[in-house]
């Protein structure tokens, strides 16, 4: 996905994603995608898989999930919906690997990620435990592909 289509752009421009949770179905409909309830992705379009991230300032990423990317289907696109008071201002795309490389860029960071993988594999409360890493809108805009921007 290099750009949003005209129809997707119109739908996104008219959507409000303010509030916690429950917006993935609306985003999938706006983009012509099918809502999915999977660990590593929120929607699909044929064989293409998409994870949705919605943020007004920063986004907290589950490091345990990043540590377990070898368990995820290949080629998932993360769509970043940057909004102000729920009004989507821009949409960027990335991969999980790009996010991992930003949040864990050094050899020591990679060792920490390996430790997270070991912990995640051995915890009994897997669904309840998360380790969060922050990525902010500036990093998203500097490192990921712009698909759409409100004019």
Question: What per-residue confidence (pLDDT) applies to 21?
Answer: 73
Q: How far, in Å, CA of 114 to CA of 120, rounded?
A: 10
Q: Tokens for 26, please give them.
A: 């609306």
Handedness of CA 86, 91, 97, 102 (dihedral sign): negative
Q: Any residues with CB less than 8 A from the CB of 27 and at least 6 apart, and which? A: 15, 17, 33, 42, 43, 52, 54, 79, 81
pLDDT in tens, 107-122: 999 999 999 999 888 8
pLDDT in tens, 36-59: 999 999 999 999 999 999 999 899
Max CA pair span of the chain: 48
Average pLDDT over residues 88-92: 97
Q: Is 126 helix (H, G, I), strand (E, B) or coil?
A: coil
Question: What per-residue confidence (pLDDT) applies to 127?
Answer: 64
Q: Any residues with CB less than 8 A from the CB of 127 and at least 6 apart, and which? A: none
Q: Tokens for 37, please give them.
A: 């309830």
């Amino acid at each position: 996905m290099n750009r949003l289509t005209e129809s997707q752009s119109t739908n996104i421009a008219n959507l409000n994603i303010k509030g916690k949770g429950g917006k993935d179905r609306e985003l999938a409909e706006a983009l012509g995608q099918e809502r999915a309830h999977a660990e590593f992705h929120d929607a699909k379009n044929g064989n293409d898989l998409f994870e949705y991230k919605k943020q007004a300032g920063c986004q907290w990423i589950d490091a345990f999930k990043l540590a377990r990317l070898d368990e995820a289907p290949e080629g998932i696109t993360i769509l970043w919906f940057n909004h102000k008071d729920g009004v989507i201002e821009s949409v960027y795309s990335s991969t999980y690997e790009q996010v991992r490389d930003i949040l864990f860029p050094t050899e020591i960071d990679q060792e920490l990620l390996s430790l997270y993988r070991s912990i995640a594999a051995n915890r009994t409360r897997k669904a309840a435990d998360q380790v969060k890493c922050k990525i902010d809108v500036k990093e998203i805009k500097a490192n990921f592909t712009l698909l759409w921007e409100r004019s």
